[in-house]
Amino acid sequence: MAQHGVTRRVFLFCLLAAPAAAQDFMRMPLAELEKDAENLPPAGLYTLAARRFREGPQQDAVRWLYVAQLRARFRLAATPDLPRSGEPALYAALNESVGRPINEWAFGDVDALAASLQDALDWDAAHANAATPKPGNEAVLNRIRAGLAEMRETVLASREKIRQQRSANGLENR
């Protein structure tokens, strides 16, 4: 199953970046992982998204993907001196291996996607970020959050165009 392959690739990427943490993320019960999400690094949130996509409900995976992306982008913007071969490369790989299949599914229902984008913003606003502190980085965080909010509006405004493009490409619209 393709979704199982996504989870395996995430595990391998995380294993390279943080071996002990990757094993914990894969073994931890999913409900426990979700409960502890504010304490996870972005790579752990990508793992959560991949596992939720595999285990369902898939719409919840969309929210976790965008929480992961928001927090990864925030971390990279708040700590610009990270070595390019480390976290920046890891997040790029996770966006491709986890983000692509989840987004392919998510864009099949634009209204649900927009709701998940808002859910990601709401969840992030309501929860601490153990990986990258919000205090002292408010301007950076606001810029990253504004980008996700703008994406939500663009998706909604492009609803029909997205549906037409998906149909032309043989992809499902729900």
pLDDT number for residue 21: 52
pLDDT number for residue 28: 85
Residues 69-117 have pLDDT tens digits of 999 999 999 999 988 888 899 999 999 999 999 999 999 999 999 999 9
The full set of domain ranges for the chain reads 2-168
Token pair in block for residue 153: 């509006």
The pTM (predicted TM-score) of the whole model is: 0.85
Q: SS3 letters for 115-128?
A: HHHHHHHHHHHHCC
Separation between Cα atoms, residue 76 and residue 25, nearest integer Å? 21
Token pair in block for residue 131: 């990986």
| Nearest of 117, 102, 112 to residue 149 by alpha carbon | 117
pLDDT category of residue 26 using cuts at 50, 70 and 90: confident
Residue pair 42/131 in contact by the 8 Å Cβ criterion: yes
pLDDT over 60 at 138, yes or no: yes
pLDDT number for residue 5: 53
Give burial (CB, 10 Å; 0-12/13-18/19+) of 112.
middle
The CA–CA distances, whole Å, from 147 to 10, 24, 34, 110 equal 25, 31, 24, 18
The CA–CA distances, whole Å, from 166 to 31, 58, 112, 150, 169 equal 33, 19, 16, 21, 5
Residue pair 27/42 in contact by the 8 Å Cβ criterion: no
Q: Any idea what DSSP says for residue 38?
A: G
Residues 6+ apart with CB under 8 A from 156: 110, 111, 114
